[in-house]
């Protein structure tokens, strides 16, 4: 194989990076994952995600992890409520959602990010992940790269694969393309179910999408009962700096919410009054759809490092895991005589797939933050249900 006797460095230990490491180890590759977190428990994991049959689940199936996934996914957590700012339920599939199962093209099982990460970590060979490896820079050495980390260590790799997210520090070594700001900002928070009793009673172990006044509140319930939520709205890109908000101050954040979401019911206040802090502001970016770069034989990108996309189509983690699946296959495909040829084929396929998802996500984001968002979303779901 092209990667025989090659050292491979994956920078970034999210779903895509860990999936790729697993797939490559199944092919006896020499791979390490360099992750900036101190350990796997260093960060609170965000809201649950759903995996799709032809992308995220396809990658797990190829990684021989589907049976493990079936043990830890959350049946029923994909059930949805669509409600207005007064918390009136306008759509629910809690009683009408058809029974679906693995193999069904529309089945999208939900899983918490923490258990998914743990499953992937436990599937890897010991010491595959090198924690506390905050990437700083790299430089060409021999046919590969010498990588430098904040902790003072340096390592050599014949092939570097960037899986370090939307603000990738490795992307500039390959291209000067920069993500574009979508105009939407999502303010992330987490709160215990006990601290948000009215919302907890409403969500009933599923998901909530609330729309009104060009604003959203999106909520998902985690396996431990905590509620992960996002207040989503149009804002300037530099709002986190210019807002003068202390994201660790619940009283200040509640006051901001009451002013910003002034026409929303006070049922939502408990999210902001009692949330774990700090809140995390997330300006939403996307990759230009018409940009390409020159392929290299020792460097490529997967996931958001390659194709940042808004989260409004549920495709981000799925396409990232599909990247991992495709790259593992191209790197071990005997039809290619050089790594550059294999990587070029992967990048062409990846761009085509990602472009469709980005286009859909950007359009959905505009719909979800328009004045007619609630009507538009209800029409979509009612039409889909029928």
Residue carrying the six token digits 């790259």: 327
Q: Model confidence over 297-351: pLDDT tens digits? A: 999 999 999 999 888 888 889 999 999 999 999 999 999 999 999 999 999 999 9
Sign of CA dihedral 262, 268, 269, 274: negative
- The mean predicted confidence, pLDDT, of the chain is 92
Q: Is 96 exposed, middle or buried (0-12, 13-18, 19+ CB in 10 A)?
A: exposed
Q: Residue 196 — pLDDT band, cuts 50, 70, 90?
A: very high
Q: How far apart are CA 117 and CA 18, in angstroms?
A: 8
Q: In the chain, where are the structural domains located?
A: 7-74+109-178+288-368, 181-286
CA dist., res. 220 & res. 56, Å (int): 19
| 340 is an annotated ligand-binding site residue | no
Q: Is 304 annotated among the ligand-binding residues?
A: yes
pLDDT of residue 100: 60
Q: What's the pLDDT band for 74 if we cut at 50, 70, 90?
A: confident
- Does the annotation list 132 as a binding residue? no
Q: What is the pLDDT of residue 105?
A: 65
Confidence check: pLDDT of 384 > 70? no
What is the reported pLDDT for 126? 96
Residue 113 marked as a ligand binder: yes
Give the CATH fold of the 7-74+109-178+288-368 domain: FAD/NAD(P)-binding domain (3.50.50)
Q: What tens digit of pLDDT does each residue of 137-177 get?
A: 999 999 999 999 999 999 999 999 999 999 999 999 999 99
208-238 pLDDT, tens digit each: 999 998 999 999 988 888 999 999 999 999 9
Q: Partners of 229 in the beta sheet?
A: 189, 219
> E strands, 192-324, where?
207-212, 215-221, 227-234, 276-286, 299-301
Q: How many angstroms separate the CA atoms of 366 and 210, rounded?
A: 15
CATH for 181-286?
3.30.9.60
Please give the model's pTM, rounded to 2 decimal places.
0.90
Residue 386 pLDDT greater than 50, yes or no: no
């Amino acid at each position: 194989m092209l990667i025989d006797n090659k050292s491979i460095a994956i920078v970034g230990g999210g779903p895509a990076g860990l999936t790729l490491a697993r797939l490559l180890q199944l092919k006896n590759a020499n791979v390490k994952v360099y992750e900036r977190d101190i350990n796997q428990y260093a960060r609170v994991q965000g809201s649950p995600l759903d995996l799709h049959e032809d992308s995220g689940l396809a990658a797990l199936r190829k990684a021989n992890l589907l049976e493990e996934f079936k043990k830890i996914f959350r049946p029923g957590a994909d059930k949805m409520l669509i409600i207005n700012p007064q918390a009136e339920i306008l759509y629910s599939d809690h009683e009408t959602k058809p029974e679906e199962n693995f193999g069904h093209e529309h089945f999208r099982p939900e899983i918490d990010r923490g258990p998914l990460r743990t499953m992937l970590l436990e599937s890897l060979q010991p010491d595959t992940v090198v924690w506390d490896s905050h990437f700083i820079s790299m430089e060409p050495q021999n046919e590969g790269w010498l990588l430098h980390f904040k902790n003072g260590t340096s390592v050599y790799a014949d092939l570097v694969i960037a899986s370090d997210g939307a603000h990738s520090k490795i992307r500039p070594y390959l291209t000067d393309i920069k993500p574009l700001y979508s105009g939407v900002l999502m303010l992330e928070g987490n709160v215990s179910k006990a601290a948000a009793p009215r919302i907890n009673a409403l969500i009933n172990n599923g998901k909530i999408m609330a729309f009104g006044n060009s604003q959203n509140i999106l909520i998902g319930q985690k396996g431990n009962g905590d509620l992960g939520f996002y207040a989503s709205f149009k804002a300037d890109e530099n709002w986190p700096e210019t807002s003068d908000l202390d994201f660790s101050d619940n009283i200040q954040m509640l006051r901001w919410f009451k002013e910003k979401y002034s026409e929303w019911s006070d049922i939502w206040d408990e999210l902001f009054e009692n949330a774990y802090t700090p809140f995390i502001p997330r300006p939403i970016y996307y990759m230009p759809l018409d940009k390409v770069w020159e392929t290299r034989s020792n460097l490529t990108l997967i996931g958001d490092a390659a194709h940042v996309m808004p989260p409004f189509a549920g495709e981000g983690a799925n396409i990232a895991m599909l990247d991992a699946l495709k790259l593992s296959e191209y790197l071990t495909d005997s039809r290619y005589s050089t790594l550059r040829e294999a990587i070029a084929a992967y990048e062409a396929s990846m761009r085509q797939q990602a472009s469709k998802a980005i286009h859909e996500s950007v359009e959905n984001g505009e719909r979800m933050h328009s004045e007619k968002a609630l009507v538009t979303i209800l029409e979509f779901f009612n039409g889909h249900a029928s």
